[in-house]
Each structure stands twice: as structure tokens, then as C-alpha cells.
Amino acid sequence: MEKEDGIRAFLSTPIEYLKGVGPQRADTLKTESGIFFFEDLLRLFPFRYIDRTRFYKVNELKGDLPYVQVKGQITTLKAVPLKRGQKLTARFEDETGSVELVWFQGVRWIKDKLQINTPYVLFGKPVLYQRQLNIPHPDLETVADFNASPLKGLQAVYPSTEKLKRRGLDSRGLSKLIRQLLEQIPGKLPETLPDKIIRHFNFPELHAAYQQIHFPQNPDTLEAARNRLKFEELFFIQLRLLKAKTQRHHDVPGIVFSKVGQHFHAFYDQYLPFELTGAQKKVIREIRQDMGSGKQMNRLLQGDVGSGKTMVALLTMLIALDNGYQAALMAPTEILAIQHYESISRYLEPLGIRTALLTGSTKASERKSLHESLASGELHILVGTHALLEDPVSFKKLGFVVIDEQHRFGVAQRARLWKKSVRPPHILVMTATPIPRTLAMTLYGDLDTSVIDELPPGRKPIKTIHQFDSARLAVFGFMKKEIAKGRQIYVVYPLIQESEKMDYKDLQDGFESIEKAFPAPEYHVSIVHGKMKPADKDFEMKRFQEGKTQIMVATTVIEVGVDVPNASVMVIESAERFGLSQLHQLRGRVGRGADQSYCVLMTGDKLSDDGRTRIKTMTTTNDGFRIAQVDLELRGPGDISGTRQSGILDLKIADLTKDYDILSHARKLAARLLQQDPKLQDVSLQGTRNELLRLEKLHPNWSMIS
């Protein structure tokens, strides 16, 4: 134990105390790479390896090769003056040919160091510049040095930056520091994974894994080390999440909804307007079971746009009512809250269930009577925006809360919900932004999840078309044809920042040109955007919903949830400026009726690579989960909406776009371990406990995301 404490103390030594670092380099390491302590350097993982056993010949070099290694000699070397400064060029030759080397920095120093006609091992990336192959800023090492070097086989490449390089900490410099550090550890790194798991996967020990990830012996030992370290990273995240969940179940008694009663059955048997899909039934079963279990439910319901989440919410709210509790539904925007309120109250009125709406624009006088009827229990269901949280409403017996579109609600807001009730209500969070499995398991790993993976029958898949701005007239012509068939159309403009003047100008210009192309009295056009007064927005939305206008020009205000089944065309302007999940959300506004629906993506002529991938993805698939996966690959997990603040996704080695298998094993084994030993009390788990403690200290907050 003492020895392990010694190692832990060693690992938490400030980085300036590592030999060869000192205060200046330490500063740069801290600001550039977040390396403060010895252990941070140990966890600076290589992003790539160079195979130092593989040599190319000069005549094999091509511009599309990655880094290559070549043996040869320098035959000429000269400094060439440039307008500003100078460059150094050299001819590098082997028996098959020659290639130019260039340096733009450190010319004098490099020139002095290099020797003509001496055998070198060159390492660099060939590039094609004005149809000539050259190798900029190669590394050169004499063959004698190369042979004497301990770095054979695979050599790690570390992420460095200009500032680090200026302090001599390029990949090689970093590698040297890490080698030193590994040599100085006073013993073996204490093991963190339970012995059983190590044996189960035949993992290398922690110490060996660190050695191999930095200085691999061969591709197999590297692979084993990498798998272990990835597993370890994901395992401890899962352990924390699942432990928090177990703890919560233990600390927070759940309201038990023991029965499904009269409200549910009456509605189900007499008023349900359609047969539920198999997926809807399955999800309702899962929720019922959860709410009857004695645990407080915290469930994420994922279902693509149009999959029928609202009906699931409604039926499950009836279960709360059947058990003598009130229910609430919270939506991210006023328009959505109104829409939910209208459909829910319409459905439930015949059953004598009382529903009310609370938003920022609810008048003070209404609020007062609303508060009273909530407190007395006369009011059964409250639908609203976040006003529902901010308002000092108190319920008589709040048992169930549905949150529509979770990513707009923060942690603190959810915590406030809990305070609305003596016992925390069951919570169902619904999201139409499908989240790739790996993200869901990590980001929402302490929630239970349900998925509606089936659309109601009879829907025709939406046809998605890409058009350049230059084809606008053709698009207008198409819109006219659809309007002639009695259809309605959305035209959406990007509004990245609700306050950006530019975007409003686009919107306004677009509105004017559409009004010109679609003149009254034949056509009527609505406009809705975030700067309008809620009452005006409502008015316009209503006109569109009632079919009084054929075109709705809007910003992303309509992004979530609005349901107008007769709208069958979605035109998205500057589609290249939208992210994939937003495009998918917008497209989901159409395709709700029986008619063939269309989504037209308008873009400028020039598209970035990412832009092209996004448009292509949209035109080739309607599957929200596939789109989410592409989105994850394009943007990386940190950028997916609403996830940024959590820090849980700052992974050092595992990759959520690729490591699904490792993650699911990690989750399963973490769950099993907690089941056997919820507090990890067994002596054999000392190392695991210590590591958990270390991580909890490092990121104290991220397990609070639900």
C-alpha cells in the first residue's frame, strides 16, 4: 500500500519537476496541452504510429502517401533568398532517384547541421507542389544514429503545437519526456481494473499498457494496450453513471403507480384515434413497468420525428391520473406548448379531464386561478413552457412529468422540477433527435431508454431533392404545382443566431421575393420568426394550420414538433448552413399526411466537403439514427447539440464513433460489478475504488447531467 501511495504521489507531481521540463516548458505544456501533472503526460496518447521498419524507395514516393521513411543521402544543399527571409532546399537521393527537400524555418541552423553525402534516414510527408514532388521539413537522422536509437518498430506520434515545437516539444521531444517519465515511476502503476475483468479479456496490466501505448513492441501488443486503455476509460465512465443511478434509486423512493385504471382504459377503448404501432405499445409497457417498480423513473424516449411520441406521453399521463396524481408536460417553445395543449385537451375533454396551459404569456389573472386549481387538485394536467418551472406553481400531487425535446432543458431546470412535488415525480424525456447508441449510453447513461423505432403505417417516405440557388425558378414552379393540388409549403431560413441582422435580412428578402412570386389573391403567405410577439406568431401559425395561407416562411422557430398534416413540401434555404440533425428535424415537419411529401434543400454553388456530405446524407436516407451517426462522425461527440457543457465526452483514447463494442462490454461489466457489490467494498476492488475517487475529484460534476 505504501508503495502505491508513493506512486500516486509521484504521478501527481507538478510537471515542472520532471527532468528536462522546467518552468517555461511547463507553462507551455499547461496552456497548450492541459498537462499539469506527471500523470497528464502519461495520458497524452499518441494519435498515430509510424512503422519504422518500413522503408520506401525514392521512386515509390507519391503525393498521396502518408509519412514515409527513406534511406539515402543529400547531394546538394542551398539557401535560396525569398522576398521575406530565405528557404533551404536539398536534393535527396537513393539508387532509384532523387526528391527535393525544403525548409522555410530554421534555415541557418538546419543547413549547418546537415552533411552532404552522408547516409541518412529521412522521415517526412511527400507533397505535390506545382506538379513537383517535395518533402517539406523532413526529419533526418544519420543511419548510424538510427541504428543506435531505441525507437525501432512502431514509433508514436504525439499531438504538438507551434508553441510546443518552439520549446523543442515536437512529437519527438514529447516522446523523450514520456520515456523518461516511464523510467522514473518508482515501481509498477497500481492496477485499476478488477482482476476478473483483466483475466476475462486477457488485458495487459495497466503498467504494461502504458508502456506499450507509448513504446509499442509490435502491432499486437499495441492493439492489446489500446483496447485495454479504451475499455478502462469507458468502464469508469459507466461505473460512475451506473453507480449514480443505483444511488439515486436507493436514496429517492419512487411513487408507485400500481394500476392502470379507468382513464387509461376509457381512452384506449373509446377515443384512441388509431391503432398504436407495435413500437408505441412496447414503449408504453416499458414505462408502465418502470413507474410501477417503486423506483423513480428517469427515462429517455427516443423516436424519430413523426413516430408518435405525443400519444405515448398522453397515455402514460393517464396512468398517473389513474393513480391519483397530476401530470405535467413541458415543451421548449410556446408554439409547441400550445400545440400540445390543444391536442391533449381535445383528446381528453370527453373524459372530463381538466388540462391547462401555462406559458410566459399567460396573464396574471389566469395564473392565479390556475395556481388555485393546481393546488386543490382540480386541474389534472398542466402543459407549458419553462414558465412551468419559473412560476411559483405548486401541485397538489405531481406524479409524472413529460419533457419534450430534452436538449433545450438544463440540469438546473430539471432539479427545479423535483421540488414541485414532495416525492420526485417520474420523468420521461422525449427527444426526436436520435442519438447514436454510443452517445446515448454515455451522455444519458444513467437514464433508462426507450426507442420508438417504427413509424405509423401508411406514411410515404419523404423525397428529398438538392437544388442550387440558380434553380430557384424551377423550385417556385414546383411549389405552384403542389399548391394547385391543395398542399401547403414551408420555406425555412437559417437563423443561426436569433439576433443576427444578416439572417433577418435574408429572411425578409426571401419573404418579399416569395410574396412577389406568389401574389395575392391567388396565394397567401405567412411569416413566423423569433422576433415576433407570441400573439402574432400564434396568429400566423393558426392561419397556416387552418389552411388560410399556403406558404409559411419561417426561421427554425418551427424546428420542433409543429404538426400540420396537409403541409407536404419543406423548402430549406441555405441548407448548407444547417447541421444534419436540424435538417432532419425540419424535414420531419412534412410527411405527416397521406400525400407524397418533398423536402427541397437549396444551397449555393460552392459546398464544403462536410456540406456536401450532409446534403448527400439527407438525399439518400430518412433514417434518423443513420443521420445521427453521420452527424457524430462529421462533428465529433463534443459538438452534438446540448452535449458540450457536460465534459463527459472529453475522451482521451476511446472514440465514440467507433468503439461501440468496447463500450457495450464496459457498460455490461460495470453493471454486473455494481450488482454484485454496489459499494465496491470487496478488498480486491481497492484499485478500482481509488481510480473512481480520482476521477470523481477530477470531474466532480458530470454525473449530474440528468
User: Cell 430534452, residue?
Assistant: 406
534 makes contact, choosing from Mg ion, ligand ADP, none, with CB < 5 to 8 Å by partner type, with: none
| Distant-in-sequence, close-in-space partners of 234: CB < 8 Å, separation ≥ 6 | 442, 651, 654, 659, 662, 663, 666, 667
- Look up residue 640 and give its three cell numbers: 452534438
> Which of the listed partners (ligand ADP, Mg ion, none) does 456 bind, with a CB threshold of 5 to 8 Å by partner kind?
ligand ADP
Comparison of 265 and 281: residue with beta carbon closer to ligand ADP: 281
CB 257 → ligand ADP: shortest distance, Å?
Answer: 22
Residue 239: which of ligand ADP, Mg ion, none does it interact with, CB under 5 to 8 A by kind?
none
Q: How far is the CB of 273 from ligand ADP (least distance, A)?
A: 7
Residue 333 touches which of ligand ADP, Mg ion, none (CB < 5 to 8 A by kind)? none
- Please identify the residue of the shown chain whose CB is closest to the bound Mg ion: 561
The CA-atom distances, in angstroms, between 428 and each of 18, 95, 277, 439 are 51, 70, 19, 18
C-alpha count within 13 angstroms, C-beta hemisphere, residue 395: 27
What residues from 549 to 568 belong to the interface with Mg ion (CB under 5 A)? 561
**180 contact partners, CB below 8 Å, separation of at least 6:** 18, 19, 20
CB of 70 to ligand ADP, least distance (A): 58
Residue 171 or 333 with smaller CB distance to Mg ion: 333
Q: Which H or E run contains 511?
A: helix 501-517
Range in contact with ligand ADP (rule: CB under 6 A) among 21-29, 234-242, 303-311, 349-357: 303-311
Question: CB 459 → Mg ion: shortest distance, Å?
Answer: 15
- Provide the mask over 428-457, with x wherever binding to ligand ADP is found by CB under 6 A and - wherever it is not: ----x-----------------------x-
- Please name the residue that has the C-alpha cell 431546470: 413
Partner whose binding site includes residue 212, from ligand ADP, Mg ion, none (CB under 5 to 8 Å by kind) = none
Q: CA torsion 319→324→329→334, rounded to 10°? A: 130
**How far is 121 from 123, CA to CA, in rounded Å?**
7
| Binding-residue pattern over the window 511 to 550 for ligand ADP, x denoting contact by CB under 6 A | ----------------------------------------
Whole-number minimum distance, CB 642 to ligand ADP, in Å?
A: 18
Span from 82-90, 306-314, 376-384, 477-485 in contact with ligand ADP (CB under 6 A): 306-314
The answer for residues whose C-beta is within 8 angstroms of residue 284's C-beta and 6 or more apart is 276, 312, 315, 316
CB of 456 to ligand ADP, least distance (A): 3
* For the chain, counts of helices (H) and of strands (E): 26, 22
Q: Which stretch binds ligand ADP (CB under 6 A): 162-170, 307-315, 500-508, 540-548?
A: 307-315
Q: What angle do CA 10, 14, 17 make, to 5 degrees?
A: 85
Which of 179, 184, 177 is closest to 7 using CA atoms?
A: 184
> Closer to ligand ADP at the Cβ: 344 or 602?
344
- Residue 303 as a binder of Mg ion (CB under 5 A): the answer is no
- Cell output for 333: 417553445
Cβ proximity to ligand ADP, 160 vs 545, nearer residue: 545
Name residues contacting ligand ADP, limited to 243-302 (CB under 6 A).
274, 276-277, 280
Shorter beta-carbon distance to ligand ADP: residue 216 or 303: 303
Instruction: Name the binder of 434 from Mg ion, ligand ADP, none, CB < 5-8 A by kind.
Output: none
Neighbours of 274 (CB within 10 A): 11
Task: Please identify, using beta-carbon distances, which residue of 221 and 277 lies nearer to ligand ADP.
Answer: 277
Helix, strand or coil for residue 152? coil
Q: Which of residues 561-590 bind ligand ADP (CB under 6 A)?
A: 561, 563, 565
| Region for 576 from its dihedrals, namely left if φ exceeds 0, alpha if ψ lies in -120 to 50, beta otherwise | alpha
How far apart, in whole angstroms, are the C-alpha atoms of residue 308 and residue 327? 19
Q: How far is CA 231 from CA 203, 204, 206, 443, 652, in A?
A: 10, 12, 11, 17, 12
Give the up-direction half-sphere exposure of residue 281: CA atoms within 13 A in the CB hemisphere: 8
Supply the minimum distance, in Å, between the C-beta of residue 307 and Mg ion.
9
Residue number with CB closer to Mg ion (177 or 462):
462
- Cβ proximity to Mg ion, 306 vs 445, nearer residue: 306
Find the binding residues for Mg ion in span 439-468 (CB under 5 A). none
Please, are residues 101 and 59 in contact by the beta-carbon 8 Å criterion? no
Query: Can residue 129 be called a binding residue for ligand ADP (CB under 6 A)?
Result: no
Nearest to 182 by CA among 25, 44, 55: 44
Question: CB 446 → ligand ADP: shortest distance, Å?
Answer: 24
User: Can you tell me the distance from the alpha carbon of 552 to that of 514, in angstroms, rounded to the nearest whole number?
Assistant: 10
Report d(CA 59, CA 37) in Å as an integer: 46
We find the least distance from the C-beta atom of residue 554 to ligand ADP, in angstroms, to be 17
Chain residues in the site for ligand ADP (CB under 6 A): 274, 276-277, 280, 303, 305-311, 432, 456, 561, 563, 565, 592
Q: Which residues bind Mg ion (CB under 5 A)?
A: 561
